[in-house]
Chain A
Amino acid sequence: MSECTSVDVKALCHDLRNVKAALEAGFAYLQSPTEGEKAKSLCDQGLQRLDNILDELQSSLDACEDQGEVQ
């Protein structure tokens, strides 16, 4: 169980912008015959990174709910 700590909003924004840039680039070239593979891998990486961010947020939220204080 993780500790109830305040989320670093700056770092979160930074990470989410990285994810958005990766997903945008990935989606843009998904249909490209030459770059399709690279684009798919980029989308996978972006989604994986998004999962990690959500997991982290969820566990932080759970920890705070357990202590009765939602950040």
Chain B
Amino acid sequence: MEAACRNDVVESSRPSDCRGKRLSVLIVDDDAMTRDALSLSCSNMPGLDANVLVASTIEEALAILSTDCVQVMLLDKHLGRDSGGMPVDGISFIPEFLEAQPELQILIVTGMKSFSDCVEAMRLGAFGYVPKDTPQDYLAEQIKRACEHSMLKNKQIRIDRGEQRSRSHIEFPGNSQAVKKLRSSLAAVAETSRPVLLNGETGTGKTTAAKWIHQHRESLFKEKDQPFFALNMGALPSNLIESELYGYERGAFTDAKSARAGYIELANGGTLFLDEIGEASLDLQSKLLKIIEEGKFIRIGGTTERKSIFKLVCATNRNLERMVADGTFREDLYMRISTFVVTIPNLVDRKDDMPEIIKAVLKKCCEDNSRFVAYRDLPEDLIAYLVENPPRGNIRGIEQFLSRLLVHAPRDSRGRPVLTNWARIRELRVQKSRRPKGVTPISIEELRTRSIDFLDPQFPGAPALTDEINNSLMMNVLESTGTQRAAARVLGITQGLISQRLQKIKTKEARL
């Protein structure tokens, strides 16, 4: 994020740490001549485009590991003497180095040829043991192999931590004006390193848009396999989100038996997608501000300041400007994440794309439900129905509809779903978006925090207003659930009370 906030328009040259093919090699040796010799060799090894870093002490090495992403370390065994005059054995610090960077591969490069040292180094997790007078091409080969291992380890860690990177190409189906405009907006904001805010109703494809930006950046900067991490800010409690984002050091809390990198650290060189940013607590918002501003962070329970450079993409379906006005979202954070705002169009604005969308969603639904139906097998009236009655939940709504269709449709003798009588399938009751466009219901949180203007001349008094609110809520729930019994369950009242209120409403309407 540091670079993200410094460079205003396009990152022409990208940092050399974890990005692209360039690898970092750290040489740890107390002897200046040996450091120079290894540095010269590593910088000029054929087929090895390496960024060479040097350290003469353990402290210097740990400081570098905390700020830079290093793939391979060339570590000397004899690192001089400490302040107490005791010899410093580099091999004994291997566990500490590996804890600082789990994907690091350590090659012991030493002037001593000792079998017991070699065994001890390998036991502690070193990648190899190479005498200093070894031929240059052998050393180069070892470094290359260590680098490959480091990349694999990094990939494994990312998979273990639930990276949501799409292996297949991401695309928005359709060619309507709305989607063309969306593609060009996303391409434009993908070029910059500044944060991007994606706005849009639920199910419109905000996560897809974030992945699209990530893939576009990869192809733009000719980089492969960069990390993509997504975190839903509304899905976890605040303290868990913090440890997921920032990571923690060993012993930071009772269960922290080993250090763990957070999403911010893992996303270094790639993209971090924060979904539902509007759900972040004010405390977390102030912490996010620091990483966005400076690109620096500290793991929970740690003291070392670390650096991570990533493209930040945030998404929300809430009105952040209104939240800023209400004091529930920090204005300074909003200003930083909203430099580029891209609004994802909803289905109503993409009617021309509906056949393409249905085609794309059908493919996914077939894979997910193990029912295989070609697009041409979908009845035309079904497609027309969906185009005219876009389901609630946008693309996710179509996905639900098609999944139900595939699963509940009767089967023929070969087990294939028969779709001709789709309208008779009970489970296909489309949850139409009955809400007028542009009207979103007030959230419970908002309802609790906002006050009613009782000075308004239209204020009917408390009993009449609460009656009106009760009736409106009941009608909305009835409309959505379809039956009085289900509405009573949702509202937490008896079915009798609902019918009583309905009777009252009818009488009132008849009187009017």
Interface residues of A (CB under 8 A from B): 10, 13-22, 24-26, 28-29, 32, 35, 38-39, 41-42, 45-46, 49
Contacts and interface: CB of A to CB of B under 8 A. Distances in A.
Interface in B105-124: 110-112
Interface of B: 31, 33-34, 36-38, 40-41, 43-44, 78, 110-112, 131-133, 136
Nearest to A14: B111
A22 B136 contact: no
A19 B36 CA distance: 12
B40 A17 contact: no
Contacts of A20: 132-133
Contacts of A26: 37, 40
Contacts of B44: 28-29, 32, 35
Contacts of B41: 25, 28
B111 A22 contact: no
A28 B40 CA distance: 10
Which secondary structure dominates where chain B touches chain A?
Answer: helix
A14 B78 contact: yes
Contacts of B34: 18, 21-22
Contact of B132 (A18, A32, A46): A18
19 contacts: A13-B111, A14-B111, A16-B111, A17-B133, A19-B33, A20-B132, A20-B133, A21-B34, A21-B37, A24-B133, A25-B38, A25-B41, A25-B136, A26-B37, A29-B44, A35-B43, A35-B44, A42-B33, A49-B33
Q: Which of B31, B36, B43, B111 has the most CB of A within 10 A?
A: B111
B111 A18 contact: yes
A22 B78 contact: no
Given A13-B112, A29-B44, A22 B36 contact: yes
A22 B112 contact: no
B112 A21 contact: no
A38 B40 contact: yes
Q: Which of B40, B41, B112 has the most CB of A within 10 A?
A: B40
A19 B31 CA distance: 11
A35 B37 CA distance: 12
Nearest to A21: B132
A49 B34 CA distance: 11
A31 to B, nearest CB: 12
Given A14-B111, A20-B133, A45 B33 contact: yes
